[in-house]
Structure 1
Amino acid sequence: MYQLDIILKRGNNLAIRDRTGTSDPYVKFKLAGKEVFRSKTIHKNLNPVWEERLSLLVDTLKEPLYVKVFDYDFGLQDDFMGSSYLHLESLEHLRALDVTLDLKDPQYPDHDLGTLDLEVTLTPKEGDLKESLWRSFNSLKDVGVVQVKVIRAEGLMAADVTGKSDPFCVVQLSNDRLQTHTVYKNLNPDWNKVFVFNVKDIHSVLEVTVYDEDRDRSADFLGKVAIPLLNIQNGERKSYALKSKELTGPTKGVIFLEIDVIFNAVKAGLRTLNPLEQKYIEDEPRVSKQLLQQNFNRVRRCVMFLINAGCYINSCFEWESTQRSVCAFVLFVVVVWNFELYMIPLALLLPLAWNYVLIASGRDNRQDVQAMEDLLEDEDEDYDKDDKVDVVLAQTLSKT
């Protein structure tokens, strides 16, 4: 037994069937001679967008899925616009696949009648998963498998100034981490992605995190759920309220998941005696005030050097010192007379050389060292304050 999930996305360059130069297309799906789904009608459009979903239980993969497109005519027989079929045996299991079907007319096979874009996911039911489970036991470190279907989310937080978000979902089990695609400008995204992880410890916790994609900077956090594998009910499609990063309180939105866990109880019990697997995927570090101040001091020294050099050159033009202006004039003539292109990068090295002289002499480092010590003290105080705030927040939430 298999579950076939299909998303009918769109049609491209469909055939014209109306006198107005357009069509009113809809799609029918047939399996084993029976109609299993009919889409809505998109009026007066040759590039319709449906974004409709259907789920089927399939006993055998030998029967192909037939897809037919018709033009709706009110009160008349609907016009045929093309057909195609999908061989289920060729589909990869447990993975969402983007499929493009070429529409043809059996009477005129050389005519191009457009294409349909689908997303297809073929999922074995529990009996077939058990077969995959036993095959996975070839690895002695694995105690089972977990299949996670990320369906959709609703009511997410608006992270953009437009009042929308560009959400994607990250599914993580110990050190295994997989990610869905991004749904742009949407607070109720549909992902319909299926992921499979090998389970090394049945006491592990499955973490599902929703982020907002930002092209110019790191992704914004929208919400997170943590689900112990032992608390999962197989085959149950369930909604989970999103929580904060520390899982101490709720945030906006819910996510819909369907999870199946199959494991060998004997191997899982033996694995319990071993220590937990060390987690190598760490959270993003906080911004270091020390590094920020250090970079600021470097930029400041370069800028001050350029300002001082500009003031010195300007004083030569204003003849504040006759001797200095005459020397500058002679130097200018010599440089112009002997100028070569390679001298430009050499001149740019002067600020770096000046910084090196200051650091080597220790004249500029003393103030920076004192500033760094003060900043480190301030940073420790800030971290202590953050920890106290987290403790107070946790206590408040536990009381409520």
Structure 2
Amino acid sequence: MPRPAPNQSSAREDDYSLKETSPNLGGGRVSRGDKLTTAFDLVEQMHYLYVRVVKAKELPGKDGSESCDPYVEVKVGNFKGFTKHIEKKSNPVWSQVFAFSKDRLQSPFIEVSVKDKNGGKDDFMGVVLFDLHDVPRRVPPDSPLAPQWYRLEDRKGSKVKGELMLAVWIGTQADESFTEAWQSDAAGVSVEALASIRAKVYVSPKLWYSRVNVIQAQDLVPSDRTRNEVYVKAALGTIVLRTRFPQTRTINPFWNEDLMFVASEPFEEPLVLSVENRVAANKEETLGKCMISLHDVERRLENRPVSAKWFNLEKMSGEQKEVKFSSRIHLRICLDGGYHVLDEATHFSTDFRPTMKHLWKPSIGVLELGIIDAHDLLLKEKKGGRRNTDAYCVAKYGQKWIRTRTIIDSSSPRWNEQYTWEVFDPCTVITVGVFDNSRLQGGDKAAGSKDTIIGKVRIRLSTLETGRVYTHSYPLLVLDSSGLKKMGEIQLSVKFSCSSLLNLLNVYAQPLLPRMHYVQPLSMYQVDSLRHQATKIVSARLGRAEPPLRKEVVEYMLDVGSNMFSMRRSKANYYRIIEVISDLKMALKWFDEICLWKNPFTTVLIHILFLLLALFPELILPLVFFYLLVIGLWRYRRRLRHPPHMEVKLSLPDTVFPDELEEEFDSFPTSQQAEILKIRYDRVRSVASRIQTLMGDLATQGERLQALLSWRDPRATALCMIFCLTAGILFLFIPFRVFAVLVVLYVLRHPRLRQRMPSVPLSFFKRLPARTDSMF
């Protein structure tokens, strides 16, 4: 398969590359490697003028009465903010905060006016004026500024009846009032849409694997005893699974088959099992059913046996209520808490912990992410013909999702928001996505529009040095059926702090997944089905939050559809394999040149080295390990100085044919009209997706082998260097024959001496980074 020549210029490749930046983090310019300790130290400070309107008292009523409908208007230059109006209250309470961007203030004065809501022109009741130069500054962790009572004045400066309790100060986005404050940047947003622009933190639901072992049924009563094609259908929510037909067709069928579901806490829906009898080609008869609440199901931590139980089957008889009869079903049901529920692609996983918190180990560090700003975002045509971008970011790591506030009508938004996660495994990936909010015009009832995808960034924690602050500008790339597009750039700052280096290094020797994945492994079909179920549950649960995370956002962050067939991705995996074995090809070519005496001096040196090793075989292994040590030290100079990002050449977005991209983004099943073509097309894509996954796994293993000495993961390579040094010294004193005998005896050891858990070298190898997280 010849590799197509790239058709993009070097300038365009530079446009897709990562760029190191030097923002003013924490209020001061930070050089590479500096350690910051202040609050919000990974973002630039943004100063805001805060006005807290608490309450008023003794406000005059309308036409001499004691009641009024007051509200407060806060005005700074051309920016105006309004509290809600309270009907018939002379002592109203508002407790609202207004935040005005200090960079955009157009007046040195702050006017806080109290007005009476009227059907026509609102009545002016009084005002409190502040000089911006006299406003105090507040920086957390200082306590909040205490509000004070201020006498209202009329337009001429004379005191009038009524007092207003206010607090006015200048702070930053680190202020605890910032999140819920009315912001001047969103002055044009409707009241209905305000909730959709707030910064929020979400927690994905706690997921369990529900294992249903359908054993047998007894005393079934089919209407037609000549047809006993009986199977069990299990439904949990919208997910429906079924068993195969039993081998013997009797009224006491036997299956002994496992059905696995993903369930989320709290368990809102019961597990419904029904015994069906196929009486015709497209007709089934329900012989009985039962409903089981997951609250009553046993929770299993390890691979211990679960007792089976008999459940009575209930059958609906016409318009009568449920009638119990003698049919029953034998089941073994449990909730497996020892697994890690795969809610995303395994290569991009952000968490490897089991469901049960009792099995969690202490955290090894803290991940801090600063979302600073974005540049040159593509403008979209919105309602009314205007072109703008209302951008927000979503970041996912572990169970914690965050959503930044939406910056209105800006192609270069500035968020400057900082978030923190606990880290339990360094071989995990944090994902940051950028989206265009489509629901600002008309609130949640905007015509079924979807949030536009602008791009995303993935960062593997194991490629980060501990304690170092990384500040880079990442290109936002989107691939669709029309080709690769650069949607802009996002500037991020990342810091991975480790509490104990010893604990961090110890994680590399532990199994990647929880114990249950090795003791009772899941099949490839089960993993695909469970991942699909988990994605649907997470998407539905986050969509019920306020403001909701849209379905398209969650699916994009979870890489839904990444395992579907793609000719482009298959070619990319093929070239990854070719690149991995290129070193072997070069070694064979070099050896061939030695055999052909193309360089006589080198050939003579090889002969001398061979004779020395033949006379002193105990030097073979020490020389091999020392050679690997030298290669690793030599490559240390060329190690990556920044976390890897999407590689355009690696993903081949510009070297495939347009019809291949159309095929990649075609629906599954295909949208082709011809029925025969549809069946064949889907069959080929289904088989090819497995081959594609196999090719990707082979490439991943080879790249992990290369990562031993490439310093892609500096800690893993350092451990490899230490091992090579230690092994090289030990084999100076251990005879090779003794080592060979020990290796053979270990490989041929008795099964009783073996364990089902992976060995330390295998666990270390599986934690090495590959280039998978740099692909689209």
Smaller-chain TM-score bracket: 0.3 to 0.5
TM-score, with structure 2 as normaliser: 0.26
TM-score, with structure 1 as normaliser: 0.46
